[in-house]
């Protein structure tokens, strides 16, 4: 597996930003992976994402998502939605705690003949009680278009810190 991940783009956040865009997705790789680590928010927030086309975020209502909501302090739950304007990559995370992290894989992003898919895994502290929570699931962008990147942003406020990395998975 060594050498299977090829770094394409990276953004290191050290002061408040409203969003991060990772680009460089093309036909070189069939599958791309995005990793984000140690996010810190300016206010309690969720992490949202959209595809980019020609470097611009697509805000249409073509995002469907389904996840299992994993909770350390209570019963598991389900989260889902169709015809939305974003994918949610997590539930609400505590703003005063760093360590919010996630990993997602991108499929068919550069293929204009197929829908784009995403798998989602994240872990974070919930905004009440600082209990450990997580999301596992996936989503689809229900439009046949060529996507060249991913636009990531908090539901509210800003990202105050974090590292966002886009990798290509070697064929």
Q: Each residue of 118-165: pLDDT tens digit?
A: 999 998 876 565 578 888 999 999 999 999 999 999 999 999 999 999
Residue 115, token pair as written in the block: 């829908």
The listed CATH number (2.60.40, 1.10.1400, 1.20.120, 2.60.120) that belongs to domain 5-169: 2.60.120
The pTM of the full predicted model, rounded to 2 decimals, is: 0.93
Average pLDDT over residues 52-68: 96
Domain residue ranges of the chain, discontinuous segments joined by +: 5-169
């Amino acid at each position: 597996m060594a050498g299977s991940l090829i770094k394409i783009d990276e953004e290191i956040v050290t002061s408040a930003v409203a969003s991060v865009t990772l680009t460089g997705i093309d036909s070189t790789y069939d599958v791309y992976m995005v990793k984000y680590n140690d996010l810190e928010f300016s206010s309690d927030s969720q992490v949202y994402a959209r595809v980019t086309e020609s470097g611009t975020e697509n805000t249409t209502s073509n995002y469907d998502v389904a996840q299992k909501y994993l909770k350390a302090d209570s019963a598991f739950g389900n989260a889902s939605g169709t015809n939305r304007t974003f994918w949610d990559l997590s539930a609400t995370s505590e703003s005063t705690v760093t360590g919010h992290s996630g990993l997602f894989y991108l499929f068919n992003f550069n293929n204009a003949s197929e829908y784009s898919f995403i798998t989602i895994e994240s872990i974070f502290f919930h905004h009440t009680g600082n209990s450990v929570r997580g999301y596992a699931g996936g989503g689809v962008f229900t439009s046949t278009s060529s996507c060249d990147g991913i636009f990531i942003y908090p539901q509210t406020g800003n990202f105050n810190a974090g590292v966002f990395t886009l990798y290509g998975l070697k064929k």
